[in-house]
Amino acid sequence: MMKKTTRFRQLIEAEEILIAPGVYDGISARLVQAMGFQAGAISGAGISNTRLGRPDIGILGLADNVDHTRNIVNVADIPFQADADTGYGNAVNVYYTVQMFEQAGVAGIMLEDQVWPKRCGHMKGKEVIPADEMVKKIEAAVAARKDPELVIRARTDAAGLLGIDEAIRRANLYAGAGADILFADALLSREDIQRFVDGVKKPVVVNMGFGIRSRPTTPLISAKDLESMGVAMVTYPRIISGGAINGMQKALEVLKASVEKGEVIERPDLVIGFNDLTDLMGLPQIKEMEQQFLTADALEKKYK
């Protein structure tokens, strides 16, 4: 069976753009796989939002991130990229951060050049470290990985602070240090995305954010158009979490209305069925294992 790291690299290097929805827990990971996507990108913001109930401003720590990531990776067969924020310290910290995420089973890892505590790339108040410091972090990440196929994704947040030319300069420095794929967060136009793609030496990943109430700083561009621009991979970090919150709000509105009216309101369009949920969670496979490994007496006692 092909290693997930090798598969992830092949998907990035393929002519067709790799579409990787953002996941944040076991349900979202299983759903992305069940819907036929070939890879997923674990969202650090999604973990911070769902596990801690806090914004993505550097509150999530290394141990919590690795522990949660391990659980996500272990429930699906497709490759996932981890979000390691800034690496939780200097280049030495990055060395051990990469090893911990690699042991958790990820196929790739993203590191960014923000000052810690970091924050979501679309928030104001970001700061970036000197480029040469980030170069050393990337060198440490490359040296730390035991599997040379593990993908190192270098992210720069310099575009919004120092301009697109500085983002390109930094990305090329990170590529020279050994990064496999490059990402400039919060690019403000299609033209800037194209300039970045044309100006760097390694494959490029772009984030697309969706939301009716607030427009993302990066313009929404179709995956097909991004592919024609030369983008190797596109991630959608908040499409599942945003959709889930919207769905939960609507379901709770129905529940409140049901209570107020004193009647049962059934809305199968809002709530997945119990059997559908247990199937998604892998219960049929568990039952197959029971048939294989439990005794006849145990099965009789359990299921009558």
Task: Tell me how crowded residue 174 is: count the other CB atoms within 10 A of its CB.
Answer: 30
Is 122 in contact with 186 (CB distance < 8 Å)? Answer: yes
What is the per-residue pLDDT across 55-104, written as a single tens digit (0 to 9) for each? 999 999 999 999 999 999 999 999 999 999 999 999 999 999 999 999 99
DSSP label of 155: E
CATH 3.20.20.60 assigned to domain 4-237? The reply is yes
What is the CA 154 to chain-centroid distance, rounded?
14
pLDDT at 70: 98
Residue 118: CB partners within 8 Å, gap ≥ 6? 56, 57, 58, 85, 86, 112, 126
Residue 150: CB partners within 8 Å, gap ≥ 6? 5, 98, 102, 106, 107, 108, 109
What is the per-residue pLDDT across 265-288, written as a single tens digit (0 to 9) for each? 888 999 999 999 999 999 999 999
Indicate if the pLDDT at residue 48 is higher than 70. Answer: yes
pLDDT at 88: 97
pLDDT at 209: 84
pLDDT at 155: 98
With vertex at residue 275, the alpha carbon angle to CA 277 and CA 210, rounded to the nearest 5 degrees, is: 30
pLDDT at 216: 58
Among 6, 3, 22, 76, residue whose Cα is nearest residue 242: 22
| pLDDT bucket at 258, cuts 50 / 70 / 90 | very high
Indicate if the pLDDT at residue 211 is higher than 70. Answer: no
pLDDT at 213: 54
pLDDT at 121: 86
| pLDDT bucket at 136, cuts 50 / 70 / 90 | very high
With vertex at residue 102, the alpha carbon angle to CA 185 and CA 279, rounded to the nearest 5 degrees, is: 85
pLDDT at 240: 95
**How far is residue 172's CA from residue 31's CA, in Å, rounded to a whole number?**
35
Indicate if the pLDDT at residue 217 is higher than 60. Answer: yes
pLDDT at 151: 98
- Please report, for the chain, the start and end positions of each structural domain, with discontinuous segments joined by +: 4-237, 245-303
Token digits of residue 289: 């294992």
Indicate if the pLDDT at residue 264 is higher than 60. Answer: yes
